[in-house]
Structure 1
């Protein structure tokens, strides 16, 4: 049999032995988003760029989980996470204001940290799989839903209905970060809608506080101001939903 110990949590009994796996805190920090120009899409007048605030966070970790803590009251969105080398990653954040946010990176590579007495469990290859001194991602709630329409790949929707959407979750207690973020992104499809007006691109962002997390969407609309844009936008095969893991980061 595998040696280890038994832990009891709110969901029952967990056997922590050589076959057990979990994530531990690898890195944390803060970053400030600065003003930059970001490519949005193409229109009849050529490429379209928008002014926003961006920060790139680089880190090294196998199988990373990136968690964002944003208590500034301005939605911040994870635009992308790119693999830039062996276990090397870069996550891009975007907002519509110059904010500073906190981030936490969890990894499948167990970090044995902390001073004093403790307990470490190893697998058969001698790798640590758990430590009483490591920092775990304490999951409070897993959330998901639709921004508009019946689900993913929803097509046409009314502009006014999609201009703002928010949902607030109260997992209870502590500072909350949001990890494993799926962000709605409405991709420009290049169709001619009305005259020279060309389309819209939408993003979603998270705001967090003490015991709460709020998701909201915002949209860039590009094209001539006159004549007025049509009442509908056509954003086919867009992931108009959201999802995230709410993690208590109070003790990290």
Structure 2
């Protein structure tokens, strides 16, 4: 019989986290994860905890050869926020255990509100590329009534956002809201991450520098435009200026 998944949250007693916890984890498009990563890298932040896993497929992210834990907690005192950065994808069958461990820690740490950044690859038109919310009354009346963020009309949530909001509805979690935007796989979807950051600034009334993220968004747009132009030239039979031969099967593109 396979072992049950489990999670252990560890945090430093030397840091008192902010009351509001913003969660950005790995989902399709990586928009929420990209947004919180930008927050911690471009503001005064302190890593004060992490979440360890057992019986869940794990990863070890690294940068410039330096490894790090994939599930990390940060405090951003200048923004009055705590942030959970989740580079590890939590499979559906492990979500219950993950949220149970997270809420147990949140209760002991004095977390009074949770905002989940939840990117979903649903069909949408240009006018629908925006941030919407799914949130109980306890969250809406506190944070959304004075904003122009609109409710998502209908459907259902799954994963971490679903489990956290259900826990709020049953009284097992503090006021919890999900900010939702359509994302474009494979990611990272920088445009959607920018939408999340703009929504957070409206809700929590702070201002951050978005220049780096906008530059990366422009680079991605340029890359895909050049790729589309290249495919169009290949389709018309035009050979590239370098005279290279390309295989007929271009599925890898």
TM interval, shorter chain, is under 0.3
The structure having more radius of gyration, on CA atoms, is 1
TM-score if structure 2 supplies the norm length?
0.20
Higher normalized helix content (fraction of residues): 2
Higher normalized strand content (fraction of residues): 1
